[in-house]
Amino acid sequence: MDNSGASHGLIQWHGTTIIGVKKNGRTVIAGDGQVSMGNTVMKPNARKVRRIGEGGNVIAGFAGATADAFTLFERLERKLEQHRGQLMRAAVELAKDWRTDKYLRNLEALMIVADKETLLVLTGNGDVLEPEGGITAIGSGGNYALSAARALDDYEEDAEKIARRAMAVAAEVCVFTNDRVTVETIDS
């Protein structure tokens, strides 16, 4: 998701890397801390990955506009409450709203969400995607992290080690990604 251009005449907040890895009964979402505006690092230690839902049993990470992501976190938490913590059902309902609601349609963000059974990518196009092979990534450094994680997957059994190393690779390659990583895990 490239927000580096001048959309609607405004400079957009740009760049991040978020990765989700599900392997051997453990699910990990990791994200970097860099917030950039144009070519300037505005904040190096933002927290883009967090626990949500009752008891923190869902982890979520976002790429895109921060205010938009917080709105989506809040909406997802409400959907989780409405659907008794069922992540897949809550994600589908959020994706429907995101695509059809006049206000939500304009939000510029992507999300990776997970609980102990499910790992999903949510988009504003109404997509609820379950990644093949249990690895997914979003953001400006997402493709770098995804490639690194897939390369490591055959050789590393620990989901957190895969996520951390993939984030390190993305931070080395993507100028909009740094090495201040937040990691959240859920064991099944």
Catalytic residues: 16
Give me 126's structure tokens.
């109404």
Q: What is the DSSP code string of 13-61?
A: EE--EEEEEEETTEEEEEE---EEETTEEEES----EEEESGGG-EEEE
Whether the CB-CB separation of 182 and 29 falls below 8 Å is answered with no
Alpha-carbon distance values, 100 to 42, 63, 81, 131 (Å): 33, 21, 21, 24
One-letter amino acid for residue 182 of the chain: T
Residues linked to residue 63 through DSSP beta bridges, in sequence order: 110
Length of the chain in terms of residues written: 188
Whether the CB-CB separation of 113 and 77 falls below 8 Å is answered with no
Q: How far apart are CA 10 and CA 185, in angstroms?
A: 36
